Amino acid sequence: MKRSVNEITGSKRMRRNRRFDWSRRLVRENTVTCDDLIWPIFLVEGTNRTVPIASMPSVERMSVDKAVEAAKAAHDLGITSIATFPDIPISKRDDTGSAILDPNGLINQATIAIKKAVPDIGIITDVALDPFTSHGHDGILRNGHIINDETVEHVARAAVIQAEAGADIIAPSEMMDGRIGAIRDALDDAGFNDIAIMSYATKFASAFYGPYREAVSTGGLLQGDKKTYYLDPANSDEALRDCELDVFEGADMLMVKPGMPYLDIIHRVKERFEMPTFAYQVSGEYSMIMAGAEKGFLDKDRAMMEAMTAFKRAGCDGVLTYFAMDIARLLDKGWKP
Ligand code: PBG
């Protein structure tokens, strides 16, 4: 028996609301604004210097003075905050990543300079050791093992130094056990009760970090992989346990990293913890879209905005994205979905 469509659907028609631009706008559930944007930038030593990154088209490492200009431009466009990552000279890297404790190091110099010039943009700093270690790992490496508790002491000290420079949010990305509580204690002991912690709570051992490792020159150094401390991409219950501990230890915000392959995790984290939740759209995600666009396989602006919308729909309050300036400029021009 062949039924008419009205018999099949009982006269329900999903397409009624989709007929016009105004009606699509009326029923739209999620929107992207500049309030959602955190811009990760790469720093390099020197002045008036920009250094391209081959695997990240249009992204450049910036010297501190250039980063200040960039921060001004970002603030003018309405971007909420900047996350800084340093590409420090190989000669300054060692087994324990001791350069992260230099109050005058690149991250801290940038924080001081940006805070002075653009006091109203948020500064988010990472305490992972990987840009500072000679072996490219996020922690202290001894006899082939990443030493958890010693690394935690190190990153907690780094957090205080970064707070002293003026960082607003400390974002630890190294996935050591107990780091959130240790950083909270260290910050509080030093009088930084107001400095927030954005935990890279669920950070997966991912292939999508490839271009970042070129950007901070850890790719060639990394011995082995990070599977003994980052999460297994196959696990989501375990990811929630990681979040639970971080919330318990005092995280103010939670992050899921990478972003787009892990939208299910974002959704579960937001539902379960009802915390400010963020995604890091990582370097590989950025470069895939850029490469696709360069080849003419997809429309960059539309792909970029669709990805952002997907993060919002999954439950994100904001996204760390290398597209932040592009998105902000597009929104400024009045872009509509
Ligand atoms: C390491 C760190 C990584 C990223 C930022 N900090 C991952 C890694 O190299 O293992 C990735 C960011 C990106 O890919 O955009 N602490």
DSSP secondary structure, 33-99, as one string: -GGGEEEEEEEESSSS-EEE-TTSTT-EEE-HHHHHHHHHHHHHHT--EEEEEEE--GGG-BTT-GG
Confidence of residue 79 (pLDDT cuts 50, 70, 90): very high
128 lines ligand 1 (CB under 6 A): yes
What distance in angstroms lies between residue 144's CA and the mean position of ligand 1's atoms?
20
Confidence of residue 76 (pLDDT cuts 50, 70, 90): very high
- Collect all residues with Cβ–Cβ distance below 8 Å to 201 and sequence separation of at least 6: 239, 242, 243, 246, 251, 254, 255, 256, 269
Residue 223 has pLDDT above 90, yes or no: no
138 lines ligand 1 (CB under 6 A): yes
212 lines ligand 1 (CB under 6 A): yes
For residue 74, give the CATH number of its domain: 3.20.20.70
- Overall domain count for the chain: 1
In the predicted model, what is the mean pLDDT of residues 36-54?
Answer: 98
285 lines ligand 1 (CB under 6 A): no
Which ligand 1 atom sits closest to the C-alpha of 284?
14
Q: Does residue 179 fall inside a structural domain?
A: yes
Q: How far apart, in Å, are the Cα atoms of 210 and each of 44, 98, 186?
A: 19, 24, 32
For the chain, where are the E strands, in sequence order?
Answer: 37-44, 50-52, 60-62, 81-87, 122-126, 140-142, 145-147, 169-171, 196-203, 253-257, 277-281, 318-321
Residue 239 has pLDDT above 90, yes or no: yes
**Model confidence over 193-204: pLDDT tens digits?**
999 999 999 999
What distance in angstroms lies between residue 214's CA and the mean position of ligand 1's atoms?
10
pLDDT at 204: 98
Confidence of residue 110 (pLDDT cuts 50, 70, 90): very high
Q: Does residue 325 fall inside a structural domain?
A: no
Pocket test for ligand 1, best of 138, 170, 209 (most atoms within 8 A of CB): 209
Q: Does residue 25 fall inside a structural domain?
A: no
Q: Does residue 290 fall inside a structural domain?
A: no
Which ligand 1 atom sits closest to the C-alpha of 129?
16
Q: How far apart, in Å, are the Cα atoms of 154 and each of 115, 167, 226, 293?
A: 25, 17, 18, 41
Q: Does residue 264 fall inside a structural domain?
A: no
In the predicted model, what is the mean pLDDT of residues 108-128?
Answer: 98
Secondary structure of residue 183 in the 3-state scheme: helix
Measure the N-to-C terminal CA separation of the chain; round to a whole number of Å: 41
**Model confidence over 47-73: pLDDT tens digits?**
999 999 999 999 999 999 999 999 999
Range of the domain at 55: 31-253
Structural tokens at position 300 = 């960059």
Q: Of residues 66, 226, 257, 312, which has the active-site annotation?
A: 257
Q: Of residues 66, 115, 203, 312, which has the active-site annotation?
A: 203
Residue type at 326?
A: D
What distance in angstroms lies between residue 15's CA and the mean position of ligand 1's atoms?
42
Q: Does the annotation mark 203 as catalytic?
A: yes
307 lines ligand 1 (CB under 6 A): no
Which ligand 1 atom sits closest to the C-alpha of 226?
10
pLDDT at 81: 98
Q: How far apart, in Å, are the Cα atoms of 315 and each of 26, 276, 318?
A: 20, 9, 9
pLDDT at 84: 98
Q: Does residue 39 fall inside a structural domain?
A: yes
Confidence of residue 251 (pLDDT cuts 50, 70, 90): very high
Confidence of residue 311 (pLDDT cuts 50, 70, 90): very high
Q: Does residue 285 fall inside a structural domain?
A: no
Q: Does the annotation mark 270 as catalytic?
A: no
Q: Phi/psi at 161 (nearest 5 deg)? A: -65, -40
Q: What is the pTM of this model?
A: 0.97
pLDDT at 151: 98
Per the prediction, the chain carries an average pLDDT of 97
Residue 323 has pLDDT above 90, yes or no: yes
In the predicted model, what is the mean pLDDT of residues 306-310?
Answer: 98
Closest residue by CA, ligand 1 atom 6: 173
Residue 298 has pLDDT above 90, yes or no: yes
In the predicted model, what is the mean pLDDT of residues 285-301?
Answer: 98
Residue 29 has pLDDT above 90, yes or no: yes
Q: Does residue 281 fall inside a structural domain?
A: no
Residue 188 has pLDDT above 90, yes or no: yes
